Structure 1
Amino acid sequence: MCNDYEQHILWAEYCRMLESLALEIPTHQTELDLPRVDNIHINDPAPIMRATSDTGVELTSMTFGFPPAGPKGGPVFNFRSEGRQFAGSKRCLVPASAFFEFTGTKYPKAKHRFTLNGSPFMAIAGLWREAAGNKPPTFTMLTTEPGPDIAPYHNRQVVVLRPGDWAAWLSLTKPEAKLLQPLPAGSLRVETVRPESS
């Protein structure tokens, strides 16, 4: 599953995209709220997008992965979406230039980079939680069955939302089942950035 993604979004591209979607950016936000990072892993801080109003979206930094549910578990970085209702959840978007999947059995495994065709960046459907005790605020990515672009590489995938559905996810103005599904074939471009070790 997706435990590694990239954030190389230019601030100007981010602003243009939100403006095209009629989403407002708080005046205090700058490119410093969208730092460039090559690899964001579990437990790393990263920016997420969350609603401030019906048309307002802010960037705020949170830790990737919900705290473990029990004493033996690890962070919950991917959360299965099928058959679930999210009206009572804190919903967010995870901005990303690309996400990575890994194949093979030998270390290091082959690394494959996925980008969204026709868009300078993507947003992955997510959930966030407030800080609790000495734990910072956290986020997780939602997953679904793999679409045709992902199926050759993994049996699950993160939910990549079309830009036109970003506001619908934040405000939940469309049913979850319509939003949280894989994109059609050809929506994602894949390149192998590291072959499997021989």
Structure 2
Amino acid sequence: MCNDYRLEVDIASIMEDFEELEIAVEAPEGMPNVAAREDIKITDIAPIVTRIEGASPVAALLNRRWSWPGSTGKPVYNYRAEGREFGSNRCLILADGFYEFTKPEDLKQKRQNKWLFTMEDHDWFAIAGIWRKHPAAGEAFTMLTLDAGPDVAPYHHRQIIPLARNQWAAWLDPAIPAAEVLTVLPPGSLAVRQVHGAPPTPASPVLL
């Protein structure tokens, strides 16, 4: 599952898109100074948008840590969505791409093949997430996952949940059932290209 993603779109453009969608977003801690980042990795600080309690429908743009320590000490960076309602602490994780990795066909190749997924209909998107307070990590977020849809299934059996633009406001509203929002996108919604590793043969990619 996703342990690396990308955000190279500037925050000003992101705020303009929220305004176009009539989603009121404030920056109560100041506008994040986010440089273009090809790789955002587990425990990194990155921007999210979450609802401000008691200030509906206003949302907040915040910088928070990706993952909190789980009961075993391992980072919780992905979280299964099936059967859960998520009645609070929902968030949108801002991205313009995410990566999956597959085993190389050439066993002499030490690094895994790396694949970049982007949205076909827009230059950035929001990933469904939740956040929580942790005594060691402070406020941190994780990405929700489902069984992989048609665009991701050749590369991994699970996937994170990029949301269509008309789902963003709904995900920030805890009154809307999670199952109505958390679905995989239709086939062809995500573009994929290989960014590292030897080109594969015409057979399907080798899953991890």
Asked whether the equivalents of residues 111 and 196 of structure 1 are also in contact (C-alpha less than 8 Å), the reply is no
- TM-score of the pair, normalised by structure 2: 0.85
> 1:11, CA displacement in angstroms?
2.6
C-alpha distance after superposition, 1:78-124 (max 9, x if no partner): 0000111111x311110001000001155310100001111120110
Take 1:162 and 1:125, find their aligned partners in 2: how far apart are those partners? 10
Partner of 1:95: 94
1:30 partner amino acid: M
SS in 1 for 2:75: coil
Asked whether the equivalents of residues 108 and 197 of structure 1 are also in contact (C-alpha less than 8 Å), the reply is no
Relative to structure 1, the CA distance from residue 83 to residue 196 in structure 2 (aligned partners, 3 Å threshold; closer, same or farther) is farther
2:85 partner amino acid: Q
Take 1:161 and 1:27, find their aligned partners in 2: how far apart are those partners? 22
Structure whose alpha-carbon radius of gyration is higher: 2
Take 2:140 and 2:26, find their aligned partners in 1: how far apart are those partners? 21
Identity of aligned residues (%): 38
Partner of 2:44: 44
Partner of 1:86: 86
**Correspondence 1:118 to 2:121:** yes
Partner of 2:157: 155
Partner of 1:6: 6
Take 2:24 and 2:63, find their aligned partners in 1: how far apart are those partners? 18
> 1:60, CA displacement in angstroms?
1.1
Q: How many residues align?
A: 193
Partner of 2:23: 23
Asked whether the equivalents of residues 66 and 138 of structure 1 are also in contact (C-alpha less than 8 Å), the reply is yes
SS in 2 for 1:130: strand
Which residue among 143, 167, 170 is the counterpart of 2:169? 167
> 1:196, CA displacement in angstroms?
4.2
Take 2:137 and 2:113, find their aligned partners in 1: how far apart are those partners? 33
Which residue among 45, 54, 65 is the counterpart of 2:56? 54
**Aligned counterparts, 1:130-145, within 5 A:** 130-132=133-135, 134-145=136-147
Q: Where do 5+ consecutive residues of structure 1 fail to align?
A: none
Specify which structure has the higher proportion of strand: 2
Q: Where do 5+ consecutive residues of structure 2 fail to align?
A: 201-208
Take 1:144 and 1:161, find their aligned partners in 2: how far apart are those partners? 12
> 1:36, CA displacement in angstroms?
2.1
SS in 1 for 2:19: helix
Asked whether the equivalents of residues 4 and 99 of structure 2 are also in contact (C-alpha less than 8 Å), the reply is yes
> 1:27, CA displacement in angstroms?
6.3
Asked whether the equivalents of residues 32 and 63 of structure 2 are also in contact (C-alpha less than 8 Å), the reply is no
Take 1:31 and 1:90, find their aligned partners in 2: how far apart are those partners? 20
Take 1:182 and 1:148, find their aligned partners in 2: how far apart are those partners? 8
C-alpha distance after superposition, 1:114-146 (max 9, x if no partner): 0111112011010111242x4322110000011
